[in-house]
Structure formats: structure tokens, C-alpha cells
Amino acid sequence: MFAICDKIILKNKLKPHRKLFSSYTFSCFEEMSLIPREDWDAAGQQKNTFLTFSYLQLIHQQKTDHFRFRYVIIYNAKKPIGVVYFQINDFSASLFGELIAHQISELQSKKASVFRRYIEQNEHETIMRLVTCGNNFISGEHGFYIDVTSKKIKFKLVEGVIDAVAREEKLRGKISAILVKDFYEEGFGDKDCWYCRKFIHFNVEPNMIIDLPEGLLNLSDYINLFSKKYRNRAKGILKASASLTKKRLTPAEIINYNDALYSLYLNVFKQAKFKLAHLSRTYFADVIKAQSNLFYIDAWFKEDAIVSFASGFYLPTEIEAHYVGFDYEINKEYELYQTILYSYIEEAIIVKKASINLGRTASEIKSTVGAKPHELMCYIKPQNTVSKLIMKPFMQFLQPSEWVPRSPFKEGE
């Protein structure tokens, strides 16, 4: 019976121009090599760097047996008008149990006990498939682009595609959920639209963004906008790292220093609260090969050894801070992390960008250099009874940490 169902599902999901509603259809692809690139480029219109064919082709190299992708093109009367992007994660019982062990222990119920025993008995089995509409490597609204003016129609299109993909990727009898990320409240994150479809809303760490005033010529101009306390602090940070040698790595050097960069990245990755997406060892070398005109890496050397690095993307009006890495043992002595933050500001001023997206995490530290929080929300829909049981503790685990916003600027700035 299941074998017959699997064949039908496989046949349907590979069928082009599947019906949504009215004259709208969609085609779904599992491999980049199968996508009609002209249609993808026409649908996405190059509006979002992180939904372009070239970028997604790069991310596709991160594919494993437990981390896969789905690519959808939406058509109107067979004219490509939108793209939707999915990442699919399979979690083993041991990993998922470790993530929410504390929250589950607080659920004193028969169902919680059954779930706990299930995890113990299936330690190495895949028990959760998380279907994410969006990109787990980057914060922000990078799940879809649809060229229609009506928000109602746009939502209906996205919803139809999400339902179709999630239905096909669902594991029988296992925990499963659909995650749609990340939305700014003033954008497509309209709670009423999602709630009526049984999605549950939760907030995650905010995006920390610096909007630069016009007329800045260099980093000193920016720091001079600070109050005396924060101006002195900034000068102290830059003085601490002054003995290090900063260098913009060439593509050849990124490839040459790949292992060192990856090791420093892992230092930071291991500190992450929720490790949803893990970069491959060759990621940085792969990015610079594919995106040499948009991507850069700055590295700081102590003698001949790299002790920290900052990577970023040049977007039309902003710099997107990407992955960083540093040696925690000398971080405080040389103020490695905060020097990285100031380097993003300096770079944005040099290349005349209006803002810097510093991403999530370390919100309080980022606020001390002038970043302000932009709240992000996600929507999640449990797909069966067991996932409903653990959804509340799972979301509690992902809740933003409490932090105190700081402002380095003089009063009135």
C-alpha cells in the first residue's frame, strides 16, 4: 500500500505546472540541475540576492541525507511570476531530545512520559522532519518572491505551495512541522493571515541593523557621533586590536586558508543555541568562487596565524554581515569580536552603503556600536499529535534571550 502511495506522490511532485487556483500553477524541483534557469531568473527578477539561482546553487552544495532542498516556480498562465524556497531538516531522536530535554522535563503528563521513552528507545532514528520555507543560513525574509500586487493572492499562492510541499515531505507516524521564517511585522508577517491557517506565531532574536547617517567619510566620523563614554570605549577596542594585521583575503587566499577559517567558524558555531544549519568545510572557498563580486572576507593575523575573520555580502543598499569566526582564548585581550563589528561599519562607509545588517545573536553588544533591533517573527504548524505536544517547549527554547538595549550616541542623535 505504502509503495503504491510513494509512487503516486513521486509522480505528482515531479509533474510540471501543477494546479494552484485560477490560472496559477507551480513546478517543484529537488535538484538545481533540473530547474529551468531562465524561468527561475525571470520569476525572481534578481530582487533578492539570496534567492538568485547562483546563490542557491552554492547553498545546494550543503546537501546531505538529512538536509535537503526544494525549489518552486510559480506561474500565471505559464508565465513565471514567483519563486519559493524550502530547506528540509531531519532530526535524530538524540539530537531533538537534547534540544528540548529541560522543557520536556517540566511537562508532567502521561503523553510527555511516552514521548520521553520514545526518544530513549529510538536514539539514532529520525523522528522529526522540519520543512522550512526560508533560509536557515541567513536571517530575514528569504523564503519567497512573488510578483503580484495583491497581498491576499500572494498569501494564497505561498500557502498553496507550502501545503503541497509539506504534504509530500511528511514522515508517516513521525513528528513533523512546517516552519515559515523570518518576517518583519510590518511586512508579510500579518498574524491574522497565518493564524487562520493554524500556524503558531513566535518571536526569535531580532535582526540588529545599523542605519548610517549621510555624509560620513570614515569610521572616525561615525565614532565621533558617540557620547564620550562610548567614544572612549570604541577607541579602546580599536587600540586593543591595533597590533594585529588586518587583510582583505583574495580568492586564492580564502582557498589557501580554508581550514583555518573553518576552524574559527566552528568556535562560534558551537556556541549557538540552536544548530539548525551546519556549513560544509569548503563553504567559504565555494562562496568566493561563485560570488567573488558580492562576497568578501577580512581576516586579522597575529604574526602568521589568523585569529579572527569577518565575511559579508554587498547588497544594493547595505552590507549583509555573514559568518564570523575568532579565537575565544584571546578574544578579550584583542577585542576580536567588537573589532569585527566596527569593521563592518567601516566597510559600509567606504563602499557607501546606507546600512549594515548585523543579523541575530549578541544583541546587546551590537547595540553598543549603534545597531537597533528589528523584531522578527516565525510561524510554525505542527503536523501530528506528538509534534503538538512538544511544540510549546520547542518554541520556548527558541525564545529570544533577555537583553538591555544600549545607545552609544549623544543625546538627540
DSSP output for 18-60? EEEETTEEEEEESSGGGS-HHHHHHHHTT--GGGSHHHHHHHG
Q: What confidence tens digit (pLDDT) does each residue in 262-292 have?
A: 999 999 998 876 666 788 899 999 999 888 8
Q: What number is the average pLDDT over the span 132-150? A: 92
What's the confidence (pLDDT) of residue 116? Answer: 61
Higher pLDDT pick, 247 / 108: 247
What's the confidence (pLDDT) of residue 3? Answer: 47
What's the confidence (pLDDT) of residue 347? Answer: 98
Residues counted in the chain: 413
d(CA 203, CA 179): 12
What's the confidence (pLDDT) of residue 380? Answer: 87
Q: Which of 80-84, 130-134, 143-147 bottoms out in mean pLDDT, i.e. has the lowest? A: 130-134
Q: Kindly tell me if the per-residue pLDDT of 295 is higher than 80.
A: yes
CA of 357: how far to CAs of 32, 292, 320, 363, in Å?
Answer: 28, 20, 5, 12
In the numeric block, the cell 575565544 is attached to 328
Q: What number is the average pLDDT over the span 332-338? A: 97
Higher pLDDT pick, 96 / 313: 313
Q: Kindly tell me if the per-residue pLDDT of 118 is higher than 80.
A: no
Q: What number is the average pLDDT over the span 4-30? A: 77
Q: What number is the average pLDDT over the span 179-194? A: 74
**pLDDT-based confidence at 250, cuts 50/70/90?**
very high
**pLDDT-based confidence at 401, cuts 50/70/90?**
confident
What's the confidence (pLDDT) of residue 329? Answer: 95
Q: Which of 175-189, 234-248, 386-400 bottoms out in mean pLDDT, i.e. has the lowest? A: 386-400
309-319: b or e for each residue (b if 16 or more CB lie within 10 Å)?
bbbbbbeeebb
The identity of residue 340, as a single letter, is I
Tell me, rounded to whole angstroms, the distance of Cα 56 from its chain centroid.
13
Average pLDDT, the chain: 85
What domains lie within the chain, and their CATH numbers? 2-206+375-398 (3.40.630.30), 213-353 (3.40.630.30)
Helix (H, G, I), strand (E, B) or coil at 363: helix
Q: Kindly tell me if the per-residue pLDDT of 1 is higher than 50.
A: no
- Most confident among 61-65, 327-331, 394-398 (mean pLDDT): 327-331
The DSSP secondary structure of 336-358, one letter per residue, reads HHHHHHHHHHHHHHHTT-SEEE-
Contact of 132 with 141, CB cutoff 8 Å? no
**pLDDT-based confidence at 97, cuts 50/70/90?**
low
